[in-house]
A and B are shown apart, each in its own frame.
Chain A
Amino acid sequence: DAGITQSPRYKITETGRQVTLMCHQTWSHSYMFWYRQDLGHGLRLIYYSAAADITDKGEVPDGYVVSRSKTENFPLTLESATRSQTSVYFCASRLGGDTGELFFGEGSRLTVL
């Protein structure tokens, strides 16, 4: 049972480059989320998706783009990376309805030089 996986786990890029972080889940969970984790800020929601082809902004969406053409995939793209986007990115998923538990991926550490 693979669960929820992210790739790449580590990425170093330069300012202005496009970067895509991948997220794949095998549970057929309806909801998928992207969070960023920064010291002193905890986990902040970037974007989420309630189902395929349905996405919505979270707390800190600027500079990010998402898509969800298939239920199992939820890629996050930084169209023109900035140093302030250096962070650890976590993808998460959960069942639909009022079910609570979020299942997180292993995280992707992104460094923008």
Chain B
Amino acid sequence: GENVEQHPSTLSVQEGDSAVIKCTYSDSASNYFPWYKQELGKRPQLIIDIRSNVGEKKDQRIAVTLNKTAKHFSLHITETQPEDSAVYFCAARGTGANNLFFGTGTRLTVIP
């Protein structure tokens, strides 16, 4: 099955700085790559996703990039704010597959 690795496991940034979280996947057939944000004690919620026919996608301060050749994708958060503090999970899913395989999560702390 798919194996998704995520780095770093923890990340601290000053408010206003950028944060980057990286993931790699093993199955070249994977074609859907979402990112979920989980605030403390809350449920995970989708913040952005990308499909394999697109190299980059932006939504305000967040963006995701995908390199299919290298089998890695990244989450970029610019102008970080304290409310961005959370655990972020990347995930991957293949065509016709039913499962999402998640990375182990990155705890982002934005220091005011």
Which residues of A come within 8 Å of B, CB atoms? 31, 33, 35, 40-45, 48, 50, 56, 58-59, 90, 98, 100-102, 104-107
In the complex, the answer to whether A42 meets B49 with C-beta atoms within 8 Å is no
Bound complex: CA of A44 vs CA of B110, how far in Å? 27
Closest to B106 in A: A42
Any A CB within 8 A of the CB of B67: no
- Which residues of the other chain, A, contact B44 by a CB distance below 8 angstroms? 43, 90, 102, 104
Bound complex: CA of A111 vs CA of B103, how far in Å? 24
In the complex, the answer to whether A100 meets B32 with C-beta atoms within 8 Å is yes
Q: Name 22 interchain pairs, CB-CB below 8 A, sorted by A.
A: A33-B99, A40-B104, A42-B102, A42-B104, A43-B44, A44-B102, A45-B101, A48-B99, A50-B98, A58-B99, A59-B1, A90-B44, A100-B34, A101-B34, A101-B46, A102-B34, A102-B36, A102-B44, A102-B46, A102-B100, A104-B45, A107-B43
Bound complex: CA of A43 vs CA of B4, how far in Å? 11
In the complex, the answer to whether B45 meets A43 with C-beta atoms within 8 Å is no
- Chain B, interface size: which category? 20 to 34
Closest to B33 in A: A100
In the complex, the answer to whether B102 meets A43 with C-beta atoms within 8 Å is yes
Any A CB within 8 A of the CB of B25: no
In the complex, the answer to whether B43 meets A48 with C-beta atoms within 8 Å is no
